[in-house]
Amino acid sequence: MNTAQKSATVSGCYLEHNHGVVRPLTVYFKKTDSGRSISRRARQINDCTVRALAAATDTPYDAAYDLLAEAGRKCSRGFHFRAWAVNAEVNGYTFRWRPFQAVKGQDRMNPAKFCTEFNQGRWIVRTAKHVMAVIDGVVHDTIAPSPVRCIYGAWECVKS
């Protein structure tokens, strides 16, 4: 287990049903606002895209906020990250989309499964009405991920 996982707290155990076998999966969670509280915009809301971008790319919160504002993000409003990420480069990172489509008879991708299967690298993970950063298998967000929240896809942050 790496240093980031040792300092993270366990948000809970989820049960994965795989061909009749039930096994617990642990999610490691690090509570962080990615620098929002010390930024010029400490009172922002609906800024999960800004926080995830800042955490996943090691970018200061204000710089991530300004980048997305230039791309059309409105103050305290959501943002369609997917269209912007196609050609974006932030702090030397580009973004590669990986969808997780529903497959009949199989459980959807969830935070516990994602952190177990993709425990290396930097990711921005898209769920229903939310995005969060996952770094080396640890969720970096202001709230622990819901056990029932399915993951629709994730952007891998690739150092260029």
User: Does residue 4 surpass a pLDDT of 50?
Assistant: no
**Three-class SS of residue 107?**
coil
Please give the pLDDT value at position 95. 97
Total number of domains in the chain: 1
Task: Encode pLDDT of 6-64 as tens digits.
Answer: 455 554 555 656 666 666 667 888 999 999 999 998 888 899 999 999 999 999 999 99
Region 149-154: mean pLDDT is 94
Please give the pLDDT value at position 62. 96
Minimal CA–CA distance to 92: which of 159, 8, 12?
A: 159
pLDDT band for position 148 (cuts 50, 70, 90): low
Which letter does DSSP use for residue 91 in this model?
Answer: T
CA angle 54, 99, 119 (to 5 degrees): 60
- List, edge to edge, every strand of the sheet that includes 21-31: 9-18, 21-31, 138-141, 130-135, 122-127, 151-159, 93-99
Q: Could you tell me the residue range of the domain that residue 150 belongs to?
A: 3-159
Looking at every residue in the chain, the average pLDDT score rounds to 86
pLDDT band for position 149 (cuts 50, 70, 90): confident
CB within 8 A of 50, min separation 6: which ones?
A: 34, 36, 44, 61, 64, 65, 68, 73, 79
